[in-house]
Chain A
């Protein structure tokens, strides 16, 4: 369970999050929607522990533990996963080698046994097949020359293999056409589980047609100004952020 309490975050000395509070119980899918500049990306980076996102107040409790002082890798090992809006291209690191290193590193941090080569291959191949990821893609350098859809499918594959307790999807739909979006959403939906929660960060309602949230929060000016069920997304789509936020204020 994720509980964000009165979170204040500075980026380059400027306060971006100004008292964000939010609770995501296990198994639920919550969406954060908001206009440009509301602090959506700051929220996802802060949760993942990126350097430069300075928490000046409040806490991030994850299953009862405040994780604000933990490194990104420690948070990952605790089960926090960030699917990037723009996954990095890393020439010189093969996708396969990256997956193996990440899985083994997390196992090590959790004091679990590492997978042997055969188990690893079986696991990756099975998960890749589900997401329509070819052997060839796995052999290529990480995300290099991948299309937008391939990159997002690759993120979904990492999510499937790393089995997080909380998956943060940062603008999962950016750079995707409708077919690619459907495929990625399908992959995400398959990963829904009673012990796994999702925080879907998006600008547009469109993504939420495919990944249907239990709760929608509207983020504006660095805090949650409104929460509601999925019908909130439709209101936003019809009336725009300004109207809905002003009505809430």
Chain B
């Protein structure tokens, strides 16, 4: 059984790490650990974690299933394979695109990323990002030079076979992707298996006119406990295209914390989540419109079965100077069971007066009329339900432009339906 992650253990580990760190890193660790020690592991008394009590989840006993899914294989990609939180070079090919292991970068006396890491879109009070900064060890750094378009995607493949349970501190992974002016890249993140406790922070720095496509797939086993954050800054005329798929886990949270930092910066997130049994799936976003003329769009669609819980917290901030901001957010949830739950919390903090901000949230059941229509044409109930659930999510999945990735995502959705269509069918 896993040792319980405790604040004391974590702080002791931070102190040990601090003593070995290079000066540039030491300064970063100091700032982060001081803040982290102040708040500790977030629980439901912290407003942003009210519906996702991490401290409580880490005290619960989980049982890792015997047969875990194998991670997806994306053809024609450079791979960074993280096995139980450790970068495995023999299974990786990231060097081909000029990426570096974070472990090596952190060991350097004076690193070129010293001024960037942790500073892309600083989250000084975020307990988990601070913890991640203080304990980050493994990860990857990718810089794409000015004007370069990477022909192949980078596949960050995180797989947890359940044997990391011995680590009392959890595993804390950090990814840094810097796109210089006009650069373009595609990032494919897959998360499989059952981490006993992992934090993953992905920092994205998008210089003017750059474009990043970011496809995230959380295909965790039921025992997985992870909280992840995508922290980005989007420069002038730069674009971020995110697609997130998640099946939740014992505790699975992902935050997209994006700052629209240059004029005409544009961020778009489409997300689909399918959660069953007693799983928990939290999608939290903060769109920070800092300058005039920026746009953000987020569309989250979720299907919840069993006694699962989905959380969507979407915050849009518009600074006083950020006139002509256009921000939209939509959350749509379909509940397949009367025991399933969706918590939707939109927040708007608007300090400019000439803006367009919209938000909407719906929660509903499978349409009984549509279900009867399909069945009256001879389509068995389970299959008809699966068709309607897929129809509800397909719009999100169709936004994945890369065909191979889209196929992987759709296959995940199909698998989920095969496993849970029957369970959904006794609910009327």
Contact = CB atoms under 8 A, between A and B. Distances in A.
Interface of A: 48-51, 71-73, 75-77, 81-82, 84, 87-88, 90-93, 98, 101-102, 105-106, 109, 141, 158, 162
Contacts of A49: 375-376
A105 B387 CA distance: 13
B388 A76 contact: no
A109 B191 CA distance: 39
Given A88-B370, A92-B395, A98-B374, 11 more contacts: A49-B375, A72-B375, A73-B376, A73-B381, A84-B373, A87-B373, A90-B373, A91-B391, A92-B391, A92-B394, A98-B387
Given A91-B391, A93-B391, A105 B373 contact: no
B370, B374, B390: residue with the most chain A Cβ atoms closer than 10 Å: B374
A205 to B, nearest CB: 27
A141 B381 CA distance: 20
Contacts of B368: 51
B135 to A, nearest CB: 43
Contacts of B393: 92
A75 B377 CA distance: 9
Contact of A101 (B367, B373, B383): B383
A109 B378 contact: yes
A146 to B, nearest CB: 14
Interface string B378-403: 11110110011011111100000000
Contacts of A76: 375-378
Nearest to A50: B372
Given A88-B370, A91-B391, A92-B392, A71 B378 contact: no
B379 A88 contact: no
Interface string B265-296: 00000000000000000000000000000000
Given A92-B390, A92-B392, A93-B391, A73 B373 contact: no
A161 B294 CA distance: 51
Contacts of B367: 88
B376, B383, B394: residue with the most chain A Cβ atoms closer than 10 Å: B376
B375 A101 contact: no
Interface residues of B, number: 25
Nearest to A97: B387
B381 A90 contact: no
Given A84-B373, A87-B373, A105 B391 contact: no
Q: Is the interface of B mostly helix, strand, loop or mixed?
A: helix
B375, B384, B388, B394: residue with the most chain A Cβ atoms closer than 10 Å: B375
B368 to A, nearest CB: 8
Contacts of A73: 375-376, 378-381, 384
A113 to B, nearest CB: 15
B60 interface: no
B387 to A, nearest CB: 6
Nearest to A93: B391
16 contacts: A49-B375, A71-B375, A72-B376, A73-B376, A73-B380, A76-B378, A88-B369, A88-B373, A90-B388, A90-B391, A92-B394, A98-B377, A101-B379, A105-B378, A106-B378, A162-B378
Nearest to A141: B391
Contact of A158 (B377, B388, B392): B377
A94 B367 CA distance: 17
B428 interface: yes
Nearest to B428: A51
B379 A102 contact: yes
A90 B378 contact: no
Interface in B110-168: none
A92, A102, A106: residue with the most chain B Cβ atoms closer than 10 Å: A92
Given A105-B378, A105-B380, A158-B377, A90 B370 contact: yes
Interface string B349-381: 000000000000000000111101111111111
User: Can you list the 5 inter-chain pairs with the closest CB atoms, starting with the nearest?
Assistant: A92-B391, A76-B378, A106-B378, A72-B375, A102-B377
B383 A105 contact: yes
Interface string B86-107: 0000000000000000000000
Contacts of A162: 377-378
A5 B62 CA distance: 58
Contacts of B369: 88
A230 B188 CA distance: 67
Contacts of A87: 373
B371 to A, nearest CB: 9
Contacts of A82: 376
A176 B367 CA distance: 25
A47 to B, nearest CB: 10
Nearest to A143: B373
Contacts of B395: 91-92
Nearest to B377: A102
Contact of B372 (A72, A109, A141): A72
A41 B104 CA distance: 73
A71 B374 CA distance: 12
Contacts of A51: 368, 372, 428
B96 to A, nearest CB: 38
Contacts of A75: 376
A178 B369 CA distance: 28
Contacts of B388: 90, 93
